[in-house]
Amino acid sequence: MIEEQDIINAICLYQARQHDTEPETVEVELCYEDDEGFFAEAYVDGSKLTMNTFDMTQALRMWIEEQLHQDPYAAGIKLLLDDERGIVAALL
């Protein structure tokens, strides 16, 4: 299981690379809505970027490869809403 803070860290790192900035300057809010499902709002250099589930999964795959040193495509990734832990990702 990938915890909510690690998902946020993955998105910060991913967006920082995409926008040539430091991960510490990126702010992320994870969201879930019944109609839209999971998404994230990332704030980079004053701009708000909305990431869908696919984009979030791409960020997690990069994080899995670089931080966990595992094959990011060896398992599926499913985002889940947990009452106690918030938004988490399960490796299938």
CA distance 36 to 3: 21
What is the value of pTM for the model shown?
0.94
**What's the domain range around 37?**
4-91
Overall number of domains in the chain: 1
Calculate what percentage of the chain has a pLDDT beyond 70. Answer: 100
CB 81 within 8 Å of CB 65: no
List, for residues 65-80, the tens digit of each pLDDT value. Answer: 999 999 999 989 999 9
For 7-40, give the DSSP string: HHHHHHHHHHHHTTS-GGG-EEEEEEETTTEEEE
List, for residues 25-46, the tens digit of each pLDDT value. Answer: 999 999 999 999 999 999 999 9
Six token digits for residue 28: 């992320």
For 40-82, give the DSSP string: EEEEETTEEEEE-HHHHHHHHHHHHHHHS-S-TTSS-EEEEEE
Please give the average per-residue pLDDT across 45-59, as a whole number: 96
| pLDDT at position 75 | 84
